[in-house]
């Protein structure tokens, strides 16, 4: 099995040097229209049995934009979407942008109270939902602001998209989109509190697109979308695929067998997956029977991907594996081309050319080379701020001695001698035990080496003696018979005295967000509720 490696750091560096000054701005709807004009019959979307070409997608977006204009939605106003992945979702997303409005993709897993709070914060003028979200909101609908009109994109009722649409796409009045207009409003996951609306401009998205050809995005690209549409993780592959005239293959819900069948039958070239999806795919008993030779690039982001998993992907899955480290808020991004750097799989790579990443201590001072600090980053692709939260926006920045603003990540890490970033943990997840800093990832890496362990998460729990002490939640591999005490003793024999784990608890599955982040707060709360 040969691995294609067509992407070189030197290429990225040479392009990055000319990006800001030589490439004129173009908005995404205009790029879609160009594809519809030049390659009208080329497929833009595969959704189940449906194959939608660029002409049809562009006309659908025109009708949605015309309908929004008819209903009085003005440029720069917000339109929210909360639904599972579908061709209609993509069309609505593009139609909102065509009208010059702002897309606010919301998570279907959010509670009714969270959805209402986000709609109010966004001052949304329209709200597109699917049947599931409509039924979830149920009685809460009456608490929606009166101005919000709900449209069900997959329904055939009074609120259906089909009945709401304007009859003629020619009714759409062209809007000149300015670079500084807001492209989308993405709400944070809310795992650490009330979600914050992250404001991203058309200019930011345009600059992100300039790097995409270096990862093989072009008219022949076929991208399998298997992560939720509301996530910035999904946007990193969905947007360049459409911008460069490629084809999206949509999955409404991730399933290992379905993913592999689609990848093989559609000859997929690109995909973005989160670590837990890679774990499940590689563990699938028939994984190696599928022909995945069409893959050029697989991406990973949103959560740490273990070095062992990266190595397994490189050895068993054709194409290049690229890991991105960054934030939805933007700032600095690191990239690891795993196939090229087999000895750096424990890192998240080097800063992308043009991105400035530094480490600071708890006092806001830069640390010395090789020392541990909080990761802060700066680049041309940074958010405009958090909507309606000026103080939170200010808190998110660190300013260097020359007055340059960097975005704080909340992650702790250090650079190795070659400039590769090693992540240690989230600052909020760091355990302080007896005055010593303990990084859960160090402990997790040890536990994962046990052959009976499939997955694990270490959290700090209250201790009268030490203030905090580590404890581990472990998911066992199938068919392994072993006790919690055996794993605890095995791990502690390999850990330093200050790192030793208090207890191991077996669970069936680690709680995760929709994009694969482990919800450590839930684990801590479950321990406290049981043993406090």
pTM of the model as a whole? 0.83
Higher pLDDT, 190 or 308: 308
| Architecture field, domain 26-36+51-201 | 3-Layer(aba) Sandwich (3.40)
482 class by beta-carbon count within 10 Å (0-12 exposed, 13-18 middle, 19+ buried): middle
Decide: helix, strand or coil at residue 362. coil
For 74-121, the pLDDT digits (tens) are: 999 999 999 999 999 999 999 999 999 999 999 888 888 888 889 999
Query: Average pLDDT, stretch 480-507?
Result: 91
pLDDT band at 531 (very low <50, low <70, confident <90, very high): low
Is the pLDDT at 9 greater than 50? The verdict is no
Which contacts qualify for 20-24: CB closer than 8 Å, 24 or more apart? 20/207, 20/380, 23/210
Does the pLDDT value for residue 235 go beyond 90? yes
| Residue closest to 295 by CA, chosen among 330, 262, 324 | 262
For domain 342-425, is the CATH number 2.30.38.10? yes
Fold of 430-531: GMP Synthetase; Chain A, domain 3 (3.30.300)
Residue 13 has pLDDT above 60, yes or no: no
Q: Give tens-digit pLDDT for 516-525.
A: 778 888 898 8
Split at pLDDT 50, 70, 90, the class of 156 is low
Of residues 483, 493, 458, the one with CA closest to residue 473: 458
- The pLDDT score that the predictor gives to residue 440 is 86
pLDDT at 341: 96
pLDDT for residue 3? 40
DSSP 518: B
> Which one, of 211, 204, 202, lies nearest residue 19 by Cα?
211
pLDDT score of 18: 38
C-alpha span between 234 and 426 (Å, rounded): 22
Can you tell me which residue has the tokens 């549409």? 229
Closest CA to 26 of 190, 177, 212, 217: 177
Q: Of 147-151, 206-210, 251-255, give the lowest mean pLDDT range.
A: 147-151
Segment 379-386 shows an average pLDDT of: 93
DSSP state letters, 210-252 = TTGGGGT-STT-EEEE-S-TTSHHHHHHHHHHHHTT-EEEE-S
3-class SS at 511? coil
pLDDT band at 16 (very low <50, low <70, confident <90, very high): very low
Q: Give 125's strand partners.
A: none
pLDDT in tens, 262-305: 999 999 999 999 888 998 999 999 999 999 999 999 999 987 78
DSSP string covering 91-102, please? HHHHHHHHTT-E
pLDDT tens, residue by residue, 401-435: 999 999 999 888 999 999 999 998 777 787 878 66
Lowest mean pLDDT among 27-31, 330-334, 427-431: 427-431
Whether the CB-CB separation of 485 and 491 falls below 8 Å is answered with no
Question: What b/e sequence results for 69-101 when a residue is b if at least 16 CB atoms lie within 10 Å of its CB, and e otherwise?
Answer: beeebeeebbbbbbbbbbbbbbbbbbbbbbbbb
* pLDDT computed for residue 325 by the predictor: 93
In this predicted structure, what is the pLDDT of residue 7?
45
Q: Is the pLDDT of residue 307 over 80?
A: yes
- Read off the pLDDT of residues 444-485 as tens digits, 9 standing for 90 and up: 989 999 999 999 999 988 887 777 889 999 999 988 999 999
Cα 484–490–493 angle (5° rounding)? 135
| Interval 34-47: pLDDT, tens | 999 999 999 999 99
Q: What residues does each domain of the chain span?
A: 26-36+51-201, 342-425, 430-531
Whether 19 has a pLDDT exceeding 70, the answer reads: no
């Amino acid at each position: 099995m040969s691995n294609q490696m067509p992407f070189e750091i030197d290429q990225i560096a040479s392009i990055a040097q000319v990006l800001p000054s030589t490439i004129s701005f173009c908005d995404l709807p205009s790029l879609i229209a160009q594809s519809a004009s030049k390659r009208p019959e080329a497929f833009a979307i595969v959704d189940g049995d449906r194959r939608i070409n660029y002409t049809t997608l562009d006309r659908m977006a025109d009708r949605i934009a015309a309908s929004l204009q008819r209903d009085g939605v003005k440029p720069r106003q917000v339109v929210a979407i909360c639904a599972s992945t579908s061709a209609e979702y993509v069309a609505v997303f593009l139609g909102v942008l065509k009208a010059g409005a702002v897309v606010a993709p919301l998570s279907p897993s959010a509670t009714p109270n969270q959805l209402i709070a986000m709609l109010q914060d966004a001052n949304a003028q329209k709200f597109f939902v699917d049947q599931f979200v409509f039924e979830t909101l149920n009685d809460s609908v009456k608490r929606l602001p009166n101005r919000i009109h709900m449209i069900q994109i997959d329904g055939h009722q009074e609120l259906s998209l089909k009945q709401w649409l304007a009859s003629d796409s020619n009714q759409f009045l062209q809007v000149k989109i300015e670079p500084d207009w807001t492209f989308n409003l993405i709400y944070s996951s809310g795992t650490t509190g009330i979600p914050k609306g992250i404001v991203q401009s058309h200019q930011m998205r345009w600059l992100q697109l300039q790097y995409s050809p270096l990862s093989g995005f072009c008219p022949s690209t076929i991208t399998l979308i298997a992560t939720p549409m509301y996530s910035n993780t999904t946007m990193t592959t969905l947007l360049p695929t459409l911008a460069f005239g490629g084809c999206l293959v949509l999955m409404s819900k991730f399933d290992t067998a379905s993913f592999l069948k689609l990848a093989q039958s559609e000859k997929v070239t690109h995909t973005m997956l989160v670590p837990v999806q890679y774990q499940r795919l590689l563990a699938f008993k028939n994984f190696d029977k599928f022909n995945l030779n069409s893959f050029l690039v697989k991406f990973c982001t949103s959560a740490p991907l273990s070095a062992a998993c990266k190595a397994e992907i490189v050895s068993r899955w054709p194409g290049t594996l690229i890991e991105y480290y960054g934030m939805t808020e933007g700032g600095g991004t690191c990239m690891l081309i795993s196939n090229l750097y087999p000895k750096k799989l424990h890192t998240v790579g080097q800063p992308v050319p043009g991105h400035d990443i530094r480490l600071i201590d708890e006092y806001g001072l830069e640390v010395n080379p090789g020392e541990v600090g909080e990761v802060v980053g700066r680049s041309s692709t940074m958010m405009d701020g958090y909507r309606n939260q000026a103080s939170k926006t200010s808190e998110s920045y660190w300013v260097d001695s020359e007055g340059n603003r960097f975005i704080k990540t909340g992650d702790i890490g250090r650079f190795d001698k070659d400039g590769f970033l090693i992540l240690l943990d989230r600052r909020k997840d760091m355990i302080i035990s007896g005055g010593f800093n303990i990084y859960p990832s160090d402990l997790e890496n040890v536990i994962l080496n046990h052959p009976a362990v499939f997955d694990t998460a270490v959290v700090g729990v209250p201790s009268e003696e030490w203030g905090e002490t580590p404890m581990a939640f472990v998911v066992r591999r199938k068919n392994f018979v072993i006790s919690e005490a055996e794993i605890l003793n095995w791990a502690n024999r390999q850990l330093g005295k200050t790192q030793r784990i208090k207890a191991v608890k077996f669970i069936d599955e680690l709680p995760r967000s929709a994009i694969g982040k482990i919800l450590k707060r839930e684990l801590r709360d479950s321990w406290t509720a049981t043993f406090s």
